[in-house]
Amino acid sequence: MTTQAALPAKAEVRASRRVPGARRNTELILLILAWLVGAYAYANVGLGTEGRLPENLALVIGLVGVLFIGAHVCVRIWAPIADPLLLPVAALLNFLGLSMIHRIDVAEKLRALRNEGPLPSGDMPAQLIWTTLALVLFAGVLVTVRDHRRLQRYTYTAMVAGVVLLLLPMLPVIGSTVNGATLWVQLGPLSFQPSELAKILLTIFFAGYLVVKRDSLALVRRKFLGLGIPRARDLGPILVAWLIALGILAVQKDLGTALMFFGLFVSMLYLATQRKTWLIIGSVMFLFAAVLGYLAFGHVRLRVQVWLDTWSYANDQGYQIAQSLFGLANGGIMGTGLGQGYPQFVPFAKTDFIAAALGEELGLVGFMAILLLYGVIIERALRTAIICRDPFGKLLAAGLGTVLALQVFVVIGGVTRLIPLTGLTTPWLSYGGSALVANWIMLALLLRISDRARRTNLEQSPQVVIKP
């Protein structure tokens, strides 16, 4: 057998160049397929609702195609060896979200025509603008963050910025309360949800902090019931995370964000230390906080009661989840078809319940396919963490994957009544600029870590092996 060491230098260079080229071609093919599926869905919305193609079909699919190709070119230039599946899957989810938002816009317009009321402006154009901005920022992250390891320098800066963002909605002038939750910041005509960017900054902080402190956090001085108990002073960080989660729950009335941040930190503690003790401690603290929240806060108690007995509240507080379940049941296995269901009957169908709207018109098969797409992104994020050789990148990739996993679980679990409803948005699908921008930034960071990890492994491994 002849190994790399026996090959001419030119052959090694040619072999190393073929690898990124093949990966990027795979990405381009999958991206084109994602664009075609999204364009087909968008066209079907018009055919199903109005019996004709949407008037803005050429503009929308053309602009989205340009944005996707532009994103691919940026990845090809600045992250050529990154995972080829991440961008196409996220692009498909984004395009499906645009199609469903447009579908609900059409339903609202038809209802206004029947009632002879003013025509609504629709939210799809705004979401398309947010998609454009998100992909511009996606490219900006790839260009400016050439090495993810540099982010470790800003560990505590990220912590301060993340906490400040979480506290911004509580300020009296710019803070805004929507549907009972104080999550928004209003600056003139513009509004955004700071917690979406805070989740990225706090993930960077957790990764940087745990890289430095993981040895002391893994240190066991004594055991109780066979479990290693960490030192009391090492319990400080998880207690702080727990108190912050409770504060969010109490003041901002945001169950989803509290659960996501606390679950993220406990999960990263376990990944960094490999100590099951942290999972058990975190679970006990979560259960205690859940019971305390149920007893102390009326909005938490109401959410649980609606979850346990939805139909008793179906005409008031449980109307959302009841209509969601009706829609999913109406869709059945294969769905009603795009434009053939009644997703407009579900309140907040463009945001919190867009998964239910898609589940009705695409059926259980389409619903599971969407979950599979999320599973692909999460699996590739965790795979990136596994192959990454630097500790900070490993924890950051795992943390970003965990954030997505928790968010999808909380949203889909609430929509399907697996868990109490929490109010988070569905990544890349739901209407909302803050979430869309944050999700594309997270994807850019994952691509950056993936490119660095694969490049390192390519440089340190034999690139060509010739068998006899």
Give the pLDDT band (50/70/90) at residue 19: low
- What is the pLDDT at residue 256? 80
| Lowest mean pLDDT across 109-113, 262-266, 274-278, 356-360 | 274-278
Q: Could you give the 3-state DSSP secondary structure of residue 465?
A: coil
User: Is 172's pLDDT higher than 90?
Assistant: no
Taken in order 453, 457, 459, 464, is the CA torsion positive or negative?
Answer: negative
Q: How far apart are CA 43 and CA 56, in angstroms?
A: 10
Cα torsion through 288, 294, 299, 300, rounded to 10: 50
Q: Which residue is associated with the tokens 């909005």? A: 299
Q: How far apart are CA 21 and CA 17, in angstroms?
A: 7
Q: How far apart are CA 97 and CA 306, in angstroms?
A: 28
- What is the pLDDT at residue 465? 39
User: Is 69's pLDDT higher than 60?
Assistant: yes
| Lowest mean pLDDT across 102-116, 123-137, 182-196, 229-243 | 229-243
pTM (whole model) above 0.85: yes
Q: How far apart are CA 415 and CA 443, in angstroms?
A: 25
Greatest CA separation for the chain: 80
Q: How many residues does the chain have?
A: 468
User: Is 7's pLDDT higher than 60?
Assistant: no
Residue 234, burial from CB neighbour count under 10 angstroms (0-12, 13-18, 19+): middle
340 touches 361 (CB < 8 A): yes
Convert the pLDDT of each residue in 176-213 to its tens digit.
766 666 677 877 777 788 889 989 998 999 899 889 88
Residues 6+ away with beta carbon under 8 Å from 343: 100, 103, 104, 107, 327, 349, 356, 357, 360, 361
- What is the pLDDT at residue 64? 97
Give the pLDDT band (50/70/90) at residue 8: very low
- For residue 228, what are the β-bridge partners? 223
- Compute the mean pLDDT over every residue in the chain, rounded to the nearest whole number: 86
Q: How far apart are CA 93 and CA 228, in angstroms?
A: 43
Question: For a pLDDT cut of 70, what percent of the chain falls above it?
Answer: 88
* Residues 296-301: contacts with CB under 8 Å, at least 24 apart: 296/250, 297/249, 297/250, 297/253, 299/180, 299/253, 300/249, 300/255
Query: 245: closest CA among 207, 200, 279, 195?
Result: 195
Read out DSSP for 228-271? EEPPGGGGHHHHHHHHHHHHIIIII--HHHHHHHHHHHHHHHHH
